[in-house]
Structure 1
């Protein structure tokens, strides 16, 4: 790779194909008025273009449905995998786009934060709840004066004094809530955290109504399981979204992107089949891959052909190849051999969020053309004894594994080739 400056104003790359994905979304939005709960889940292998698709869908809302409020959160950001931080991020985006006030959520979150950090004053310059709100600023001052230590109590009386001196709209708001400040103050931090999604939803509904025209996007959903696979129940990791947030936000449309099918209806609650649509984002056809590379300025037909064949329809591979092409152009005429490192980068993306035993299992499964449960169990017992054969049902949820025939499975070709080329000799 040549050393040189990297441009920060990257040229926008054309959005190709995915007409069916966009059409599915528009039908989903148009039908949202008829459903109490409404969720659309796009799933597909790493690099297939889910994040780019979300950006496209957001632009569709902005241009064609401006009356719909939309906000987004990408779980690629590790802090957003925390319940409270995720909700704060959503609240901040909502407040930017409409005149919403999350009075109870702000109060609950501040008490939660103080109980979790009794020895640390809430930092006014950086803590996201303070803003320019003089009422809430007074609450923070009172909480910061709480004596630290295990016996430090939340000064409920002083908080009520601040509320009683607040404008009528604020005072009435706290009088009408289902959960009181007394109750919040009596809870432990972990107990408040469990209730934060419901409190957030109540504030949202108070501001925007029960049948609000709103859409919430969540990307990189698989990141919720990073470092936690094999620890506890699989569906426990997103329970706060599935059971506490979405059901309490009636009328809101949810668009979620991840690598694996959710299986909420099959494995959690069959009622979800009435409210969720799962849509697989498939490989990009060769003609669209060609179109994309041409639009990005790759004129050499031989180079385009090599990239298209190697990509196996994965847009991330195409994008990395365009990056490589543009870097090579700064110092010489690009050649086919310049693209040898692309597969390694794609492989690293494929195996992100997998643990070492899953990666070893996939390395083993990349050898046969396909396998069934019986062959899987025999291979794991012989070559990967730390990976339980009982994990079969969890493994086949991954979008890079496809069911060829009943009970017979194989790996996506790009994933398989990447595994074979980057085998750990041990």
Structure 2
């Protein structure tokens, strides 16, 4: 931390106040509701968040109809009861509150604590400020008064002329008992009389008491919210302040309900959060930092903490060419840790390496580095306001603390901690797969394992890919997005080590591969094509092979079937690693779409044979592929059986994406076998696919719903579903899927008697299939439909003639034609030619 004068560091209290409109409104509401009741507004926030500045603004906002005083517990002397009461008595006394009984009781307490001093104007507190006490001491001048309450009360009769005021003092039962009280009881009586005098004054004019920095009095609370009774006098005093409002600022919420549940009905807690970005920029501009890049950099680094912003302003004022840096970060961490026990700081430094942590991780790190890892230490650490609670026992540290704390760790120690935390997350992921409940999202452990593996510099691109595959199975493709971000952040500023030099190219490819596969699942083919402009790179590694397959699949969706097929074939022929089954699946897939059903099924069986039993996802994909083949061959019974087998494979490993696609395929199948059930199934499939964000799958589901509604004769609903299907399919760039939807929408137009539009749409769909080099079986079906209703054209006939030689169905072409005619009858029977 730079050595420089410290006085100017308090200048934040003199700078313009920003934002906090909600808190100001809340304070105004509390002021309006002041009554003869006990009320405490507890302003809670981390160190440096602006609580003291807020209290100053609230006091400035207090109307003249209220008295106000402030107790700053950051001053050590004011943490003592008698000193704090003296300050408050002087502030409220200056505003017209009469403290006759309190002044007498305080003089008794003072004399009890300082018996060597004679009670006179010189030695007695408030002697010059208290009308009653000054007159009593005038009468007692020169007499060795030893501070007995009885003696002081007797002197009141001669010193005070106002009868009512004199009677109130002489008849007060508390004053009569003071001489018989112990020192502790005498202190309680003094607090009681202070509260009584203040409450009495509130009958004519209410008051507000501001108490700052409660944590200075109780720096280390005990588990359960209790403390070592250092705040007992303050709690006792505030518990008696009726008729006014107390605003108390603290880093953690007041824990007083641990003593008495009634405090929950008295205390209203409100959080002071970080300043929003516009307020941060306004603050910096007001302080003279006007450069837009500099403003943005400081504002983002501050995490909305005003203390950081003011440090940056001070740094700029002293040296305009130097931005906030390590010195600022060090002051921040000192501010945050001001009231943290020294033996807890070290483990906080280690925990700062983890983005989130729980009791289990805390214990593992503690045992690894021989630090306290007991439950008491854990409860103490997690009680601090900079440890933010997350659902079900997880925590994270404040963003500014993380950066500052990690500066205290050497690179070697940080790598070691990252390695320890990576193993913890991997073990947690293993437990979750066996059904253990962790309280975190199912994919989170795998993302965190990748993050810490990178920073521990001990994870390979292949291991990253395997973790991503597990995350996809556990909670869907979106889980990988976080991994991609973490990898790209690491690649953008890698460490200068041998690991980074050697592994960085493979890690960069892993990020590209994960990103491409994720976007492909969302149906964003155009972006994946842009990400993979060169697809002739070597495919020896798993990551390179999968990246090539993702790029080829994007081109298949966009209608570049021949280009995609050549890439699939090359990976299938050249790659001998873990990605080979996926390449074989892709080759079989595109062969089927191009009409070679026999070749596709033979290859699918071959790929199934090389899959190990634990590769349930790829085995499910192969079964689903064969299901689709039988469905396009109009053999719906076989298709249903294979769909059930695929679902069984996916369900065995909880493959979220696979099971979602099963729902899509089931809706598509039911559209031909049970349209009423198809409508219901499509609705369920839409919910699942919307959660995953897969636009091409959403388009396919809407197509299935539209076909089912068409078969049920609900033409308006069918038309609406087709419109939704087209929107989703166009957004995904799925040309062949859009053409398939158009083929069936043509049957809807035919039902409405729009024959010319029907012919044009059928012809458009056939052209698209030819352009994309897919679905020759559907081209022949379009031709057959046009013939049945008298809309055939020479161009359709020529297209069908080109398609038939491409067909290699299972069984005979005649059987396929018969089944196709039966399906067309579902839509065309009753339509006049």
Shorter-chain TM-score tier: 0.7 to 0.9
Answering whether residue 306 of structure 2 is matched by residue 291 of structure 1, we say no
On the 8 A contact 1:110/1:140 being kept in 2, the answer is: no
Secondary structure in structure 1 of the residue aligned to 2:53: helix
Q: 1:378: Cα distance to partner?
A: 3.8
Structure 1 unaligned segments of length 5 or more: list them. Answer: 148-152
Deviates more, 1:249-258 or 1:414-423: 414-423
Q: CA separation in 1, counterparts of 2:201 and 2:7?
A: 44
On the 8 A contact 2:120/2:141 being kept in 1, the answer is: no
Equivalent residue for 1:20, pick from 19, 22, 32: 22
Answering whether residue 104 of structure 2 is matched by residue 107 of structure 1, we say yes
Report the equivalent of 2:386.
400
Equivalent residue for 1:349, pick from 335, 339, 353: 335
Report the equivalent of 1:222.
215
TM-score (norm 2): 0.45
Report the equivalent of 1:246.
238
Secondary structure in structure 2 of the residue aligned to 1:204: helix
Q: 1:139: Cα distance to partner?
A: 4.7
Secondary structure in structure 1 of the residue aligned to 2:217: helix
Greater strand proportion: 1
Structure 1 residues 128 and 383: CA distance shift in structure 2, 3 A: farther
On the 8 A contact 2:69/2:88 being kept in 1, the answer is: yes
On the 8 A contact 2:9/2:314 being kept in 1, the answer is: no
Report the equivalent of 1:197.
191
Q: CA separation in 1, counterparts of 2:375 and 2:201?
A: 50
Q: 1:160: Cα distance to partner?
A: 3.9
On the 8 A contact 2:387/2:396 being kept in 1, the answer is: yes
Structure 1 residues 355 and 60: CA distance shift in structure 2, 3 A: same
On the 8 A contact 1:80/1:86 being kept in 2, the answer is: yes
Higher relative contact order (CA 8 A, sep 6+): 1
Q: CA separation in 1, counterparts of 2:151 and 2:81?
A: 28
Report the equivalent of 2:169.
174
Report the equivalent of 2:307.
316
Structure 1 residues 13 and 132: CA distance shift in structure 2, 3 A: closer
Q: CA separation in 1, counterparts of 2:52 and 2:282?
A: 20
Q: 1:327: Cα distance to partner?
A: 1.5
Secondary structure in structure 2 of the residue aligned to 1:234: coil
Residue correspondence of structure 1 range 357-396 to structure 2 within 5 A: 357-383=343-369, 385=371, 388-396=374-382
On the 8 A contact 2:100/2:130 being kept in 1, the answer is: no
Structure 1 residues 174 and 2: CA distance shift in structure 2, 3 A: closer
Q: 1:120: Cα distance to partner?
A: 3.5
Report the equivalent of 1:51.
52
Q: CA separation in 2, counterparts of 1:408 and 1:143?
A: 67
Report the equivalent of 2:88.
90
Q: 1:133: Cα distance to partner?
A: 4.1
Secondary structure in structure 2 of the residue aligned to 1:165: helix
Q: How many residues align?
A: 405
Deviation string, structure 1 residues 29-55 (Cα, Å, up to 9, x no partner): 22333x722111111111101111111
Q: 1:268: Cα distance to partner?
A: 2.5
Structure 1 residues 134 and 324: CA distance shift in structure 2, 3 A: same
Structure 1 residues 4 and 224: CA distance shift in structure 2, 3 A: closer
Q: CA separation in 2, counterparts of 1:124 and 1:404?
A: 59
Deviates more, 1:164-173 or 1:48-57: 164-173
Residue correspondence of structure 1 range 26-175 to structure 2 within 5 A: 26-33=28-35, 36-62=37-63, 66-98=64-96, 100-121=97-118, 124-125=121-122, 128-133=125-130, 135-137=132-134, 139=136, 146=144, 154-155=147-148, 158-166=151-159, 167=161, 168-175=163-170
Greater helix proportion: 2
Secondary structure in structure 2 of the residue aligned to 1:70: strand
Q: 1:164: Cα distance to partner?
A: 2.0
Structure 1 residues 127 and 379: CA distance shift in structure 2, 3 A: farther
Report the equivalent of 1:150.
none
Structure 2 unaligned segments of length 5 or more: list them. Answer: 414-833
